[in-house]
Amino acid sequence: MDVLFQDITIVTMNPLEPVLEHAYLGTQCDKIVYVDTKKPEEPAKKVISGKGHVLIPGLVNAHTHIAMTALRGYADDQTLTTWLFDKILPAEARLTGDMVYHCARLGMLEAIASGTTAICDMYFSAPQIALAASELGIRAHVGNVPLETGEGFNLADGSISDTYELLTRFAEDPLITVFTGVHAVHNSNPSVWSWVNGVADKYNLPFCMHMSETAEDVDSSFRKFGKTPTAALEAAKLFHHPTVAAHCVHLTDEDIAIMREYGVTAASCPVSNLKLASGIAPLTKLKEAGVNIALGTDGVASNNNLDMFEEMKLSVLLQKNLTGDAAALSAYDALYFATVGGSVALGRGETCGRLMTGFDADIVMLDFTAPHLNPCHHVISNLVYAARGSDVELTMVRGRILYENRQFTVADPQKVIADANSLVASVFRS
For residue 373, the minimal CB distance to its own copies (Å) is 8
For residue 218, the minimal CB distance to its own copies (Å) is 15
Report the distance separating Cα 236 and Cα 334, nearest Å: 32
For residue 330, the minimal CB distance to its own copies (Å) is 4
Cα three-residue angle 366-335-343, rounded to 5 degrees: 100
For residue 9, the minimal CB distance to its own copies (Å) is 14
Nearest to its own copies of 141, 313 (CB atom): 313
Chain CA centroid to CA 231, Å: 25
Evaluate the omega torsion of the peptide bond into residue 304 and state whether it is cis, within 30 degrees of 0: yes
Nearest to its own copies of 78, 154 (CB atom): 78
Please give the single-letter amino acid code of residue 427: V
Report the distance separating Cα 333 and Cα 365, nearest Å: 20
For residue 329, the minimal CB distance to its own copies (Å) is 7
Q: Is the distance from CB of 4 to CB of 46 less than 8 angstroms?
A: yes
Report the distance separating Cα 385 and Cα 383, nearest Å: 6
β-sheet bridge partners, residue 206: none
Nearest to its own copies of 235, 386 (CB atom): 386
Which among 76, 67, 117 has a CA at the least distance from the CA of 96? 67
**What proportions of the chain, in percent to the nearest 5, are helix, strand and coil?**
40, 20, 35
For residue 344, the minimal CB distance to its own copies (Å) is 23
For residue 396, the minimal CB distance to its own copies (Å) is 18
Nearest to its own copies of 132, 231 (CB atom): 132
- State whether the Cα torsion 3-398-97-308 is positive or negative: negative
Nearest to its own copies of 257, 376 (CB atom): 376
| Ordered DSSP codes for 305-372 | ---HHHHHHHHHHHHHHHHT-TTSS-HHHHHHIIIIIHHHHTT-TTTSSS--TTSB--EEEEE--SGG
Nearest to its own copies of 170, 337 (CB atom): 337
For residue 324, the minimal CB distance to its own copies (Å) is 5
Nearest to its own copies of 85, 203 (CB atom): 85
What lies within 8 Å, CB to CB, of 214 at 6+ separation is 80, 249, 250, 276, 278, 279
Nearest to its own copies of 29, 215 (CB atom): 215
Q: Pairing relation of β-strands 116-122 and 139-143?
A: parallel
Chain CA centroid to CA 13, Å: 18
Q: What is the largest CA-CA distance in the chain?
A: 66
Q: Is the distance from CB of 199 to CB of 205 less than 8 angstroms?
A: yes
Nearest to its own copies of 9, 163 (CB atom): 9
Nearest to its own copies of 163, 303 (CB atom): 303
Q: How far is CA 22 from CA 50, 54, 166, 175, 249, in A?
A: 8, 10, 43, 31, 41
For residue 288, the minimal CB distance to its own copies (Å) is 16
For residue 153, the minimal CB distance to its own copies (Å) is 27
